[in-house]
Structure 1
Amino acid sequence: MSISGTSLPPTTHSPFSHLSHLECSREGTRHDADVVQVTSPVGAPLLARYDLERVAEAVTPADIASRPPDLWRYHEVLPVRDPAHVVTLGEGMTPLLPMPRAGARLGVPRLLMKDEGLVPTGAFKARGAAVGVSRAAELGVRGVAMPTNGNAGAAWAAYAARAGLGALVAMPVDAPEITRRECVVAGAELFLVDGLIGDAGRLVAAAVADRPGYQETSTLKEPYRIEGKKTMGYEIAEQLGWRFPDVLLYPTGGGVGIIAIHKAMRELQQLGWVTGDLPRLVAVQSSGCAPIVDAFERGARESVAPAEPRTVAFGITVPKALGDFLVLDAVYDTGGTAVAVDDDELLAAEHTLAREEGTWICPEGAACFAAVGRLREAGWLSGEEEVVVLNTGSGLIYPDTVSVDIPVLAKDGAIPPPRAGGGDLGGPGAR
């Protein structure tokens, strides 16, 4: 089944996609992109490669500017070959917002936020789901199956429903309640697992073996989730007038987002659409689950799972990512760094940003704002850089991160006068 929700151009003059092949991220071997693939024979993620010379001949940034404002505007460097197979809910082209008050407080006046909380299902996972489900449907997949910490499962369930595919989702029992409801309302088969995402993954892998036509779509175990997420990198460059920022911070769990943005920006350089240095990429984690940070501090190329991972930023509770070496490669390649912040820091950042800028972001995104302050205090940021923070989701899907104590007034009572020093950054119910 195919559903196109945007005005997509015909393919009479040029291919809709210039997808060439898949490449093993460890060994560089080539693999067929037109059959269902999982990982390479050595168990490494497969990366989609394109004929970028032909892309550069076929389309220009000016051409892209005239297209609808969604991620499919970059279809030549996306893997769906036929526009009839595009499954969309209008995802992409999220705002790149100046953060003047937060930037002034943190000593980084050129601070910007890419706000992924405005995409379908409330998190950046919709990008990967849109492209991953579209390509799965094009290749004849009947259902998708995945473990998730919550948001990815919600997104893939929604897009599978849109495409008419089955969806099997398993998530840790501690996953956010709202993401469970998103899966259920979209008709997915949902199971809670008394363990972590890795435990859920093992159960899903076993289940797929008994479900003909189902594809396991765990993080980086299929090649196309990353392609949807790389459009964040394309959008940032386009929104800045086809240039890169100086620094980009990304909350890092499975690491697909930071890997994807690094891939996008390398492609943009090869296309000749953007010149200059890549932004320094910063992987941000919680101190309760910081395998990438620990590996970076050791100068290692792979991570080691922490003994007891736990953080309120549930989306980045990933003890051992399949693509950890790709995350670290992206950080090393760009002269970036990796930072861990405590849960109390990221929660404070979440609340402060909402009062300063009127935007309630997810705790994972808030971790990045806390990290900006850390990096500025340490001198790693001079304060002159243009810094982009990726907020990966809406705070509305994390209601438990905010507690309120709201006064109840008698109907014949009166609203009390403002507290001394109050009125600017929250009312009596603010915490």
Structure 2
Amino acid sequence: MTRFVSHLEGGIDGAHLPVDELQSLHKDRPILVRYDLAAVGKSLTKEKLKSRPETMWRYRELLPYADEKQIVSLGERMSPLLACPRLGAQLGLENLFIKDESQLPTGSFKSRGLAMAITLAKQFGVKRVALPTAGNAGGAAAAYAARAGMECYVFMPEDTPAINQYECALAGAKTFLVNGLINDCGRLVREGKAAMNWFDLSTLKEPYRIEGKKTMGLELAEQFDWQLPDVILYPTGGGTGLIGMWKAFQELRELGWLTTANMPRMVSVQSTGCAPIVRAYEKGERFADAFPNAATQASGIRVPVAVGDFLILDAVRQSNGCAIAVDETQIQRALRQSVAAEGIPICPEAAACVLAAEQLLASGWLKRDEKVVLFNTGAVQKYIEAMKTDLPRLDKNQPIDWSSL
């Protein structure tokens, strides 16, 4: 197959880097994949796209893999874009949608990024990978590494949700619980690199996970018939998805595929328990300081320091968006309200986006008639701690007062 990658680019300084070498960071910052978009435009049309299978791999001209036969896949279908009229009415929004990533193979949006990262790692001959994780990334890495016949090491905080712990081990990954946060786990991955000869799959520490996450934006544009929404609410830990979507929208605009000039306002959603991006945004800074004593039930956004912080903040500001921290104590309430309203199994991170919509509406930043998309990044079934409910009991041997049920 023809590949349209033109070069790799240092995210911090724009330096051109070779494509056909295994890359990690450049000047300790992320590397981005760039494409010959003029050539892509000559090869790919919207009509041609319609005839392809509805998977994340359908956008191959805008993706970095070189050999279609070597894709490492578990069947990544396009995730549904679901209208949410009842939840929207409760919040005061007339056009609310949820992009439901919980329906991907490993139950979260991490399927996209890790499928792409493992595919490229395999094509470069990598035999062993390692990563820190706050939750779903570990399970996805373990699953795709198993699919590729690759050895995988996962390091996670000891209070990571139990399902995330179990799924890593079940897929054969060597899984370790660490008495610290995800950045402590990341330090262990770095320290073990020389001794263990593994490739570091940490968020944004290789160029390809972001390209898998980018397909969320490509799908969203196609599902809205190339007319993007007004606002996108995105739960932000490492921020790969937000950066990837903004990259996708820029590429589509350069291709001339978007039917409106306006780009979505990107909202980076965090919790008051861990909000390094929000603090940097409010201070007008491009780089974020590590957030002290990070703690939130939304484990996927418990990232006290992100290597791609400047790329997140660039996307937020370039899009005229914002970064917002929601009340940690209200996440459970928003989660239960949302699932009961629409039946979509949203995770705590997505519940944080529901709270962000409430706050932004109340402040007037968000208008009730705007088209708003929030991302459900994972299935609530993976968060048994968040689902726990004390249910009433019935005695089969006693008469039931049906009017009291």
Q: TM-score under structure 2 normalisation?
A: 0.98
Aligned residue in 2 for 1:330: 315
Percent of aligned pairs sharing the same letter: 49
Q: Are 1:397 and 2:382 counterparts?
A: yes
Query: Alpha-carbon deviation of 1:219?
Result: 0.8
CA distance in 2, matches of 1:242, 1:415: 55
Q: Are 1:23 and 2:17 counterparts?
A: no
Equivalent position amino acid for 1:218 in 2: S
CA distance in 2, matches of 1:283, 1:78: 25
Equivalent position amino acid for 1:37 in 2: Q
What is the 5 A alignment of 1:155-170? 155-170=140-155
Equivalent position amino acid for 2:125 in 1: G
CA distance in 2, matches of 1:250, 1:86: 28
Residue number among 266, 274, 280 corresponding to 1:289 in the alignment: 274
Equivalent position amino acid for 2:55 in 1: D
Deviations 1:305-331 (A, max 9, x none): 122111111110111100000000000
Question: Aligned with 1:23: secondary structure?
Answer: strand
Equivalent position amino acid for 1:109 in 2: E
Deviations 1:373-397 (A, max 9, x none): 1100100012111000011001000
Residue 92 of structure 1 contacts residue 127 of structure 1 at CA under 8 Å; is this kept in 2?
Answer: no
CA distance in 2, matches of 1:159, 1:309: 29
What is the 5 A alignment of 1:91-240? 91-212=76-197, 214-240=198-224
CA distance in 2, matches of 1:345, 1:409: 31
Aligned residue in 1 for 2:231: 247
CA distance in 2, matches of 1:75, 1:415: 60
Q: Are 1:352 and 2:337 counterparts?
A: yes
CA distance in 2, matches of 1:74, 1:319: 33
Query: Alpha-carbon deviation of 1:415?
Result: 4.4
Residue 231 of structure 1 contacts residue 261 of structure 1 at CA under 8 Å; is this kept in 2?
Answer: yes
Query: Alpha-carbon deviation of 1:64?
Result: 1.0
Equivalent position amino acid for 1:361 in 2: I
Q: Are 1:372 and 2:357 counterparts?
A: yes
CA distance in 2, matches of 1:414, 1:167: 56
CA distance in 1, matches of 2:41, 2:380: 39
Aligned length: 404
Equivalent position amino acid for 1:245 in 2: P
Equivalent position amino acid for 1:91 in 2: E
Residues 355 and 414 of structure 1: CA distance in aligned 2, closer, same or farther (over 3 Å): farther
Residues 418 and 306 of structure 1: CA distance in aligned 2, closer, same or farther (over 3 Å): farther
Residue number among 55, 73, 79 corresponding to 1:88 in the alignment: 73
RMSD: 1.1
CA distance in 1, matches of 2:400, 2:232: 44
Question: Aligned with 1:122: secondary structure?
Answer: coil
Equivalent position amino acid for 2:132 in 1: P
Runs of 5+ consecutive residues of structure 2 not aligned to the other structure: none
CA distance in 1, matches of 2:374, 2:272: 19
Aligned residue in 2 for 1:256: 240
Aligned residue in 2 for 1:425: none
Equivalent position amino acid for 1:369 in 2: V
Query: Alpha-carbon deviation of 1:145?
Result: 0.7
CA distance in 2, matches of 1:413, 1:67: 59
Query: Alpha-carbon deviation of 1:211?
Result: 2.5
Aligned residue in 2 for 1:50: 35
Deviations 1:107-161 (A, max 9, x none): 1110000001111111100100110000110111111110111210100100000
Aligned residue in 2 for 1:4: none
Runs of 5+ consecutive residues of structure 1 not aligned to the other structure: 1-10, 420-427
Equivalent position amino acid for 1:258 in 2: L
Residue 161 of structure 2 contacts residue 384 of structure 2 at CA under 8 Å; is this kept in 1?
Answer: no
CA distance in 2, matches of 1:414, 1:305: 59
Aligned residue in 2 for 1:268: 252
Residue 351 of structure 1 contacts residue 360 of structure 1 at CA under 8 Å; is this kept in 2?
Answer: no
Residue number among 22, 27, 37 corresponding to 1:36 in the alignment: 22
- Ranges of 4+ aligned residues in structure 1 off by more than 4 Å: none
Deviations 1:67-122 (A, max 9, x none): 11110000111111110110111114101000101111111110000001111111
Residues 223 and 409 of structure 1: CA distance in aligned 2, closer, same or farther (over 3 Å): same
